[in-house]
Structure 1
Amino acid sequence: MSPFDLVLTPRGVRFMGRLFPCTIGRGGIRADKREGDGATPVGRHRVVGMLYRPDRMARPADWAEPIGPGDLWSDDPRDAAYNLMVRAPYAPSHEALRRADPMYDIVLLTDWNWPEAQPGRGSAIFLHQWRRPGAPTAGCIAFRRDHLRWIAGRIQPGAGVIVPAPGLAALA
């Protein structure tokens, strides 16, 4: 493990010598992640991108890409663009990346089931802002706004996001 990896522990995510409280998926941590189970998948994932809302904040890192008004994420396992960013108008099931709430003001994209998604394994696992402390996600890892901004300003593409199996979480 590198000090530049994010490591999920029972007390939060460890990154660059700091520990950040976080929330995970409502389905807990699972090695057998499936579409719609709300679980955060076990594994060593990589950060492959960063998105941000340029109308709400300055670019958090030089490699961050702006979220535009028509940016969506395909979450339909039957769609050829499943688990990829797409643009409106878009008929298959999708999630808007430009939300009214601040949850996706910064999004770190991971390589979970990407870029060649296998239908049924679950769509994107993002690192994003939490709704409120303790509120679970649909499988993503979520942080307090100021903590996410601190992480976003320091993380590099390719950094690991390590999610140990539940029995091994204490060893991380």
Structure 2
Amino acid sequence: MPAGLQDQVNLGRNGLAWGLGLHPNQTGPYKQEGDGKAPAGVFELGTAFGKYNAVNTGLDYQPQDAGHYCIDTETSPRYNQIVHVSEVGKNAIRDSTEPMRRDIHAGDHLYDKGIVIRHNPDNIPGKGCCVFIHLWRSAGKPSAGCTTMEESQLDTLLAWLDKDSKPLFVVLPEKEYQKNQPLWQLPVL
């Protein structure tokens, strides 16, 4: 990770809970839909996304428009998937509260740029969805369950990442990181 980024992020307003990712099963609370917790663990990164036609990144990039939604409706067969209304129809997005163009639908710029965190890759209903790295509201203002950062920091991260190196996202309390670092072959901090 580029120097300095690990100390300059916001997480979920209710802290962390174990997510569903690459790490082994853990004891303790697991992330649930709507709990306000960011997922803890080790995760693959998915595509970068945003409102721009392109951004400087080594990840695959998916421009978003007013018709893109991440489905957070637990009963949907498209739960935890980014879809376009033109492909799935208006009924598929009717109850979703995650429009990917927040600048259009919610009047903020949180999703102008972001990266999908592959939490809950099997899309298990109720286990948490639509988890991203995206722009923050401000320093010290927690998210609903994502990892957020200032725009220049996100730009640095996007430019640094390379999909061919298969980057992973690790978020753990320091004690858990130290405990699992040798077992999970995590970098020494």
Question: Residues 101-156 of structure 1, C-alpha deviation per residue, up to 9 Å, x if partnerless?
Answer: 21101110011012x21111111210000011111101100000111011111112
* Aligned: 1:24 with 2:30: no
Runs (4 or more) in structure 1 with deviation over 3 Å come to 17-20, 169-172
TM (norm. structure 2) is 0.75
Partner in structure 2 of residue 53 of structure 1: 51
Bigger CA radius of gyration: 2
Change (3 A) 1:19 1:59: closer
Between Structure 1 and Structure 2, the one with more helix by share is 2
Structure 2: runs of 5 or more not aligned: 19-29, 180-188
Task: Give the % identical residues.
Answer: 26
The reply to whether residue 96 of structure 1 matches residue 99 of structure 2 is yes
- In structure 1, the residue matched to 2:26 is none
Please give the TM-score of this superposition, normalised by the length of structure 1.
0.82
Q: Flag the structure with higher strand content.
A: 1
Computed over aligned residues only, the root mean square deviation of the Cα atoms, in angstroms, reads: 1.9
Per-residue deviation, 1:45 = 0.6
In 2, the alpha carbon distance for the partners of 1:19 and 1:120 equals 30
Aligned length: 155
> For the structure 1 residues 84 and 138, does the alpha-carbon distance in structure 2 shift closer, same or farther, using more than 3 Å as the test?
same
Task: Give distance in 1, aligned partners of 2:178 and 2:111.
Answer: 29
Match of 1:164 in 2: 172
Q: Larger RCO: Structure 1 or Structure 2 (Cα < 8 Å, ≥ 6 residues apart)?
A: 1
The one-character-per-residue Cα deviations of 1:32-80 (angstroms, maximum 9, x if unpaired) are 111111111111011111002127xx52226312112211110011100
Matched residues in 2 for 1:35 and 1:104: separation? 20
